[in-house]
Amino acid sequence: MNNILAVSSVVMREMYRRKDFYVLLILTVLITLILGSVNLFNDSNIVRYLKEICLLLIWVSSLVIAITTSARQIPAERESRTIFPLLAKPISRTEVLLGKFLGCWLASGVALVCFYLFFGLISAARESGWPLGSYLQAVTLHWFMLAIVIAIALLGSLVFAAPSSNNTICFVVIAGILLIGRHLHKVAVGMEQPSRGILTVLYFLLPQLGWFDVRERITHNWPPLDAGPFLLALVYALVTASVFLFAASWVFNRKRLQ
């Protein structure tokens, strides 16, 4: 654990010394404040649209931070050759990988807290209530969903050599899963075999990232999820991330470093 924590602390230090997170946070703040200052159509429910847009920006920003941070970790180590002095120390490749994962996940968590704090301030300014329980649940689910995304991006960074191609592929895959993945089984119903079977299998194979998306509940001030489904989703995230990390470790341990 000592080695994993040491590697993760370097990843976190890298994130707060780079500008990506600050730029995304400032952009989200600016866009939300500009939209918030305009009273479109004299609609009293405009705050819901504002919350929806702000949450969408938070989701996009968090995915950008998580994917770009994790996708560059191992390729950057190889490109700058820091992987060699690192692995010449008493540390295994699996520990390096887990350290990278933990660092990216914690860094994304810190970023999420900042984003959601801003969101909380905006909604508190426009609405009377501040449903802390719902917000905490949303942040937690969002953060655990990022664990899966980070594990996928780390695996991708070991399969695709260039960080840019890995970034693009990860964005396409994650966006695909979020937008289409959750509807695949419904699409499959109206299809003939074998497409129906393939789509159904694909639906069950793909990580169910949609389970972690509770934006509608926040926007409409619905009550939070019950403890059962909430905890099940967290366990599902940990198991799915572990599967991808196991695959990444398998690939990394077989990679010839030259």
User: Footprint of other proteins on this chain (CB under 8 A)?
Assistant: 2-3, 5-6, 9-10, 13-14, 17-18, 80-82, 84-85, 87-92, 256-258
Closest distance of CB 234 from other proteins, Å: 30
Shorter beta-carbon distance to other proteins: residue 90 or 133: 90
Closest distance of CB 82 from other proteins, Å: 6
Shorter beta-carbon distance to other proteins: residue 9 or 242: 9
Report the C-alpha gap between 55 and 214 in whole angstroms.
10
What does the chain come to in residues?
258
- Name which of 146, 154, 149 is nearest 255 in CA terms: 154
- Provide the 8-state DSSP code for 161: S
Report the C-alpha gap between 9 and 102 in whole angstroms.
9
Question: Which residues have CB under 8 Å from 142's CB, separation 6+?
Answer: 58, 59, 62, 112, 116, 212
Closest distance of CB 252 from other proteins, Å: 12
Shorter beta-carbon distance to other proteins: residue 36 or 99: 99
- Name which of 175, 234, 147 is nearest 56 in CA terms: 175
Closest distance of CB 62 from other proteins, Å: 22
Q: How far is CA 258 from the centre of its chain?
A: 31
Shorter beta-carbon distance to other proteins: residue 86 or 247: 86
Shorter beta-carbon distance to other proteins: residue 70 or 137: 70
- Name which of 46, 29, 35, 40 is nearest 121 in CA terms: 29
Closest distance of CB 7 from other proteins, Å: 8
Closest distance of CB 81 from other proteins, Å: 4
Q: By the 8 A CB rule, do 55 and 77 touch?
A: no
- Provide the 8-state DSSP code for 255: P
* Residue 44 token pair: 């009293």
Report the C-alpha gap between 30 and 211 in whole angstroms.
29
Closest distance of CB 9 from other proteins, Å: 7
Shorter beta-carbon distance to other proteins: residue 17 or 133: 17
Report the C-alpha gap between 175 and 168 in whole angstroms.
11
Shorter beta-carbon distance to other proteins: residue 85 or 228: 85
